[in-house]
Every structure is written in structure tokens, then in C-alpha cells.
Chains A and B, each alone.
Chain A
Amino acid sequence: MRGRVNLKCRYHKAQSPLQQQQRRQPNTDRARRLHPASITCVSNFSGRDWDDNARYSVRSEGWRGRVPLSVPDARLAPECLAPCHDHSVRGLWRMMLLVALLSPALSGGLKILQVVLPGDEVLQFSPNGNNERIILGPGLRWHENNICATRSGLLKKASKNFYYVDSHQKRYIPHEKEFVIGIILRKKGDNYLIDIGGNEPGTISCLAFENSSKKSRKEMKPGDLIFGQLLVANRDMEPELVCIDVFNKTVSMESLPDDGIMFTVPLHVARMIVNPENIYLMSIAKKINYTVIVGFNGRVWLKTEKQRDMVAIMNCIMMLEFMSLEEAEKNVFRLLDSFLVPVQH
């Protein structure tokens, strides 16, 4: 029992509803009450950009809420849908409607400004007592009163003072609160070592699953897939995952069943398909029933009844790497049809 009590305290500290409320997300509780296990916080994919000789640090905040980058005002972003669709896509429609109702009126929307290279100056900003605030997302850093880009990509502006660079990357860098699909490498004492695609393997405690205690643990073998949320992930520490949320309930799924397929896509494709405004996965669902789980480390797990359908949907999702969304939407039905043509014997 002692182990169980410690677990609650530990995980509550990181994700207590009170703390999240203090971060000015008034819609959080309501969202959670309505769909307790299915709407969860999706991502916070910016790190902190440090100046290497800094005596002070300028923190660039990530944003909580929708990873899909259409959040008009980061501070009021509602918690987003879990990236898990089920066979009947009705559940997903309900969630999307709910999210649309909860989000405040769009004020300006998302603007794509320009393609930037590292070192490009975006703005001049010197902090004075004016209470002006600029929120920097991933890919930007503040150096000597200039805000410059650190990666190549599209500079986007989500609200009147929120900027970030959207880049097309393949390598995953772990960040807190992101959902990832991991592969179990081995058991190490009371933890499992998991490969999440970053520079070092993450760990997950055997107790970090729903309904597990010291007596009854979840046994998993190397090679199993697991879908969890990163509790601790910064550049200095080993990443840690959990499969439960604040209420000690499972976050959509823990270990994924054996009969699906998992493949890797670039990170921007994973973020694109999780966007609730993006109907790509829904248009595929019109033809085939399937279950998909998207991890922010670029790993996507898919399951359908027939193998041919799995390969078809896998190719549809991988097409997004090279095509723009409009082109892919036009081609998706043609591709699916070519796979679904019955084999002539």
C-alpha cells in the first residue's frame, strides 16, 4: 500500500488540476468532466532555449492544448482530443464538436509569415516595464534583444504576440506532456526501459499503469508497444513515461495489441493528422473502419481487420510527407480504391 500512496503523491504533484488551473486554462475542468479519459493534454512541444553563455535564462514557453497549430490564443487553449480514434468514428465527431464549442472566438487566427533560416531576425524586443509580452514557441530564441530563428521552417504567428517556427523534422526530441509510442527494450528493476526515438531510452515504472499495485503488476516483454505520456523530459534528465493520468485512469491505451502495424513518419506529419480541423483521417474512415494511435515521436500505430487495408492506410498517411494536404486529399480515394480492388483469382 505504501507504494501506491507514494505513486499518487508523485504523479499528482506534476499534474494536479489545481496547478493546471493556475496556468490559466479555465476550460480544463469542464472538458475533463465531460470526457474524462478521452480529452487529455496533447503537447507542449517546445523546449527552453538557452543562451549558452547566459547568466539568466529566457524561457520560451510551449503551449498546452492543441498541437494542431491553429490555436488562436495559447492561454485559453482547451485540452485537446486524445489521438486515438475508434472504429465508429462517431465518438470522434462528438469530441470535435465539443472542442469547437469550447474554443473561444477566433481572433486573427493563424498566419504563416515566411520561410526563415537560422539566425534570421524576426523581431526586436527589449523588455522594459511596459508589461508587453511575447510568447516564443519552438524554433525561436531571444538573444541580445533580438528574437531570431534557430531552425529553418515556416514562421507562424498564432495570436497577436505568439510566434513559432514550424519545421519538418524527423528526429524526435522528448518534451514533457507529449504522448509517445514506445518500444519496450528490457526490464530494469522496477522499471521498464523504453525506446521513444530520442537520444536515450526512457523509463516507465511498473506501477504506472491502471490497476497495478505491488502485488499485481503488468507484465510486458521486450518488443511490446506502449502508448504513454512523458512525465519528465528535459535535456538534462532521462525521460520518464506514465500510462495513467491525474485520476489514475488509463490514458486511452497502455500496451497496444499485437496485431496492428507501427510505422514512423516525420514529426510534422504526425502533428498534422492529429489536428482536429484536419479531416484527412476522417475521409479515410469513410471507406474503412480502423483504429489509429499517433505518437508525437512520429510513430503511428494502425489496426484494421484486413492486412491489405492496413497497408493502404499506411501508405495514405506516409504520402503526407511529400504532398500538401490538398493534393493528398484528392489522391487518397484513388489510392484506397487501388488497394481495395478485389484480387482476381
Chain B
Amino acid sequence: MSKHACELNFLSRSDGSALYSIGNTVALASVNGPGEVKKFNRLYNRAYLEVSYSPSTGQSMIGERALESVITRTVEQVILVHLHPRTAVNVTIQEMQSDGLELSTSVNAACLSLLDAGVQMKSTFAAVTCCLTPSSTILIEPTAAEMKESVAVATFVLDGQALNVLSAHQEGCLNAENFNACLKACQTAAKDVFNFYRQALEKKYHTCNEIS
């Protein structure tokens, strides 16, 4: 499994931000909210969630919009939107470096930045990518080269409490047995990601520990 690293509160002007990397893929996420919302997007009973994703090179096109919609639908399940009616939560994700793991790095960076901003959530969430090689081995968090050689790539976003699947994104040909095997492998790997979140936040709160 590749190395995870993160830095919280990276940007001084956002409500919460996180610079997060898995291996060689790096993403920067920033959260602003719950704040002002345009009249067009205002919802009377809940917060409006907007995710915007920018790739490191080139213009953002359909592929990036697809990524944004996956991230939006995942995050909406987790934030307690009914606590903040008529507001907007804006999550902006900038891809700094890409080595194939854009979806999982972006999702994890978004989670850490939401934790940093203090937006109220039901639970944390983590994305894990795995791929199935032609020799039927499951590799967790593969590099771009390994993904090219693989038969199928699957990303699961799992919830922090019961490791339920919040969203799943899969490309390639997987039969049911292999799909379940990938899911189990990702659930095991997700526990490490959640421990990593916990360590990052403990570090944040212990450096500025108040006496009171």
C-alpha cells in the first residue's frame, strides 16, 4: 500500500483545507461553508453542496464533471445538510499531481478538509482504489502503470463506522466473486485510512491543547 501524507489548514483564507497525497498523487481540497448561497441555488430546508474539481493540466471537461458529480453525491450523504438551510457548502479540489488515483485522493482530501472546517457530518468517509491484475491478484492503491496492465479498477468510498459502501466506481470486467473480493480488500485497507485521519486530527488538536 502506498504512503499517505497530509497537511491540514494549508490555506489561510478557507474555512478548512487539506493537502493530501497517496503515493505520487496529490490533491488540495478547500472547504468554505456553510456560507452565502446564490438565490438560484438556495434550498429552503437544507444546505446546497457544490464541488468543483480542477485538473493539474488542461481544461476541465466532461471527465472532471463526472468526477465532481461522484464526489458531490458521496459527500451529500455524509454532511448533515438539514442543519444549515439556505446556505451553501463549497468544496474545491485542485489536483496537484496525478498518478492514476485521482478519485480516491480527491475524496479523501475532501473528507479531511471537511473535518478541518468543522462542518457537521454523520461520519467520516474514505475512498480506496484497487485493481485486479490478469493473474487475479488484487492490488490496493496501484500506480498508473499497474492500472494500465490491470483487468479492472474499482474504487469504493466507505463510511467510517460500519464500513458500508457510500459509492462505488468500477471500470473493466469483474465477475461477482472478484467484485466481492475487491470490496473486502478495500474494506480492510480503509481501516488504515481511518486510522490515518485520526492521527492527523490528534496531531492538530494536541499541538494547540488548551489548559481549560
List A residues at the B interface (Cβ < 8 Å). 47, 49-50, 52, 68-70, 110, 112, 115, 117-119, 121, 139, 141, 148, 150-154, 166-171, 173, 199-200, 235-236, 268, 272, 275, 277-278, 320-326
Contacts and interface: CB of A to CB of B under 8 A. Distances in A.
B85 interface: yes
Given A152-B116, A173-B34, 8 more contacts: A110-B212, A112-B209, A117-B197, A118-B115, A118-B124, A119-B161, A200-B36, A278-B212
A199 B83 contact: no
29 contacts: A52-B81, A52-B82, A68-B212, A69-B212, A115-B201, A117-B160, A117-B198, A118-B122, A119-B122, A119-B124, A119-B159, A141-B80, A152-B116, A153-B118, A166-B210, A169-B118, A171-B35, A171-B117, A173-B84, A199-B36, A199-B86, A199-B87, A199-B88, A235-B84, A235-B85, A268-B210, A322-B208, A323-B208, A324-B209
A150 B117 contact: no
Contacts of B118: 151-153, 167-169, 171
B207 interface: yes
Contacts of A168: 118, 204-205, 208
Contact of B34 (A117, A139, A171): A171
Nearest to A277: B212
Greatest chain A CB density within 10 A among B16, B32, B88 is at B16
B189 interface: no
A200 B33 CA distance: 12
B188 interface: no
A141 B87 CA distance: 21
Interface in B66-80: 80
B121 interface: yes
A119 to B, nearest CB: 3
A225 B117 CA distance: 26
A119 B117 contact: no
Contacts, number: 116
Contacts of B211: 278, 324-326
Given A52-B80, A324-B210, A199 B34 contact: yes
B115 A152 contact: yes
Contact of A170 (B81, B117, B197): B117
A199 B119 CA distance: 13
A279 to B, nearest CB: 11
Query: Main SS of the interface on chain A?
Result: loop
Contacts of B185: none
A-B pairs, top 6 by smallest CB distance, nearest first, are A119-B123, A169-B118, A118-B121, A52-B82, A150-B120, A199-B87
A150 B201 contact: no
A64 B197 CA distance: 33
A115 B86 contact: no
B83 A50 contact: yes
Contacts of A320: 208
Contacts of A173: 34, 84
Contacts of A118: 115, 120-124, 160
Interface in B22-66: 32-37
A324 B208 contact: yes
Interface in B86-102: 86-88
Contacts of A322: 207-208
Given A118-B121, A167-B118, A171-B35, A236 B85 contact: yes
Contacts of A277: 212
B7 interface: no
**Most chain B C-beta atoms within 10 Å of own C-beta, residue among A50, A235, A236:** A235
A320 B207 CA distance: 11
B86 A200 contact: yes
A304 to B, nearest CB: 25
Contact of A150 (B37, B80, B202, B206): B80
A314 B194 CA distance: 38
Contact of A47 (B33, B83, B198, B202): B83
Interface string B143-174: 00000000000000001110000000000000
A126 B86 CA distance: 33
A199 B208 contact: no
A150 B81 contact: no
A170 B198 CA distance: 20
B80 A117 contact: no
B62 to A, nearest CB: 32
A171 B210 contact: no
A117 B201 contact: yes
A141 to B, nearest CB: 8
Contacts of B15: 169-171
B121 A150 contact: yes
Contact of B212 (A52, A70, A150, A151): A70
B71 to A, nearest CB: 17
A121 B85 CA distance: 26
